[in-house]
Amino acid sequence: MRKFQRITNEKSKEPTKEQLVRYKDFASLSHKYERLAKRPKRPLYKDPKLFLLLLIIGLMFLLVFLES
Amino acid sequence: MFKKKTHTAFNEAQQIELAQKDHRHFGPLYERYFEQMFRFIFKRLGGNEEVAGDLVQQCFMKAMANITKYEDRGLPFSAWLYRIAQNEVNMFFRSEKKNYTVEISDRQLYSILEENGEGSVRQEDLDQLIEIINNLDETQTDLIELRFFQELSFKEIADIYQISEANAKMRIYRLLEKINTNWKRES
């Protein structure tokens, strides 16, 4: 919750040039965004279909390896 | 011998369209609006630099994630960004367990009283006015803050709330009437 408080002496509430420069960073923002956007929406262990598919592929490879 | 490289100047609508296709093209929009958004958030937080830095990044992150949903309805793009920033700041205030204090100067309070037609004001009256504002609900406080503390025009407020300018004026004047009534009742 926000509450307003009265002050008699007026301080400048405008950010300085240095403050603006310090926080302006599109490269970092873009990097963070990519990291978030590329993260798979559902982890592998929570997706039974994909998990089963990978398990079958793994088993097939194992069988082929054992046969040979 | 070498052809002079020509730079194509994109207008805002084209930049938005490009950013909708690929988020990496969001850069020019970020460059254009960063300062405006930082100032807005910084002032709303009463000058808290670190939190303002976090919230402005959060605001642009949301803008990037949702730019595909953005539709040009004749309002400036900044109004859409202001709306996101407004929500971010309000979410921050709500998440604060203790009351977050924003300092307001007497000059800003006088502007409300001037609008209400009050001439001579005592110091106690200003304390009383602050108390009345603190007792308003969130939406009402936001309107007072945007108009008198952020000093936005009616048009800008209307764009943020996606209402007409006349409606914005009406809401604020009704609110001032309410403040006036409470003020007279208490004094």
One domain, residues B91 and B17:
yes
One domain, residues B124 and B76:
no
Q: Report yes or no on A8 lying in a domain.
A: no
Mean of pLDDT over chain A:
84
Structural domain range at position B17: 12-95
Report the residue from B23, B38, B100 with minimal CB separation from A2: B100
Q: A46 and chain B: CB distance < 8 Å anywhere?
A: no
Shortest CA distance from B132: residue in chain A: A4
One domain, residues B85 and B116:
no
Q: Report yes or no on B52 lying in a domain.
A: yes
B84 and B129 in contact (C-beta within 8 Å)?
A: no
In chain A, the number of structural domains is 1
Q: What is the pLDDT of residues A20-40, one digit of tens each?
A: 999 999 999 999 888 888 766
Query: What is the amino acid identity at position B15?
Result: Q
**Torsion region of B74: left, alpha or beta (phi above 0 gives left; psi -120 to 50 gives alpha):** left
Q: With CA atoms as reference, report the closest residue to B173 among B135, B134, B146, B144.
A: B144
Q: Report yes or no on B3 lying in a domain.
A: no
Domain boundary at B47, B63, B95, which? B95
d(CA B164, CA B147): 15
Prediction ipTM score: 0.72
Cβ separation B53–A36 shorter than 8 A: no
Query: Residue A43: is its pLDDT beyond 80?
Result: no
Report the residue from A9, A19, A29 with minimal CB separation from B61: A29
Q: How far is A42 from chain B (nearest CA, A)?
A: 18
Residue A16 structure tokens: 């300085």
Q: How far is A18 from chain B (nearest CA, A)?
A: 11
The CATH number of residue B81's host domain is 1.10.1740.10
d(CA B163, CA B157): 8
Q: Report yes or no on A6 lying in a domain.
A: no
Give the Å distances, CA to CA, from A31 to A51, B56, B57, B75, B79. 29, 16, 12, 29, 25
**Residue range B7-26: average pLDDT?**
81
H or E segment and range at residue B185: helix B165-186
List the 125-154 stretch of B: residues with Cβ below 8 A of A. 126-127, 130, 133-134, 141
pLDDT at B4: 46
With bands split at pLDDT 50, 70 and 90, how would you rate the model's confidence at B42?
Answer: very high
Shortest CA distance from B134: residue in chain A: A3
pLDDT at A46: 78
**Torsion region of B151: left, alpha or beta (phi above 0 gives left; psi -120 to 50 gives alpha):** left
One domain, residues B87 and B136:
no
Q: Report yes or no on B100 lying in a domain.
A: no
In chain B, the number of structural domains is 2
**Residue range B159-176: average pLDDT?**
91
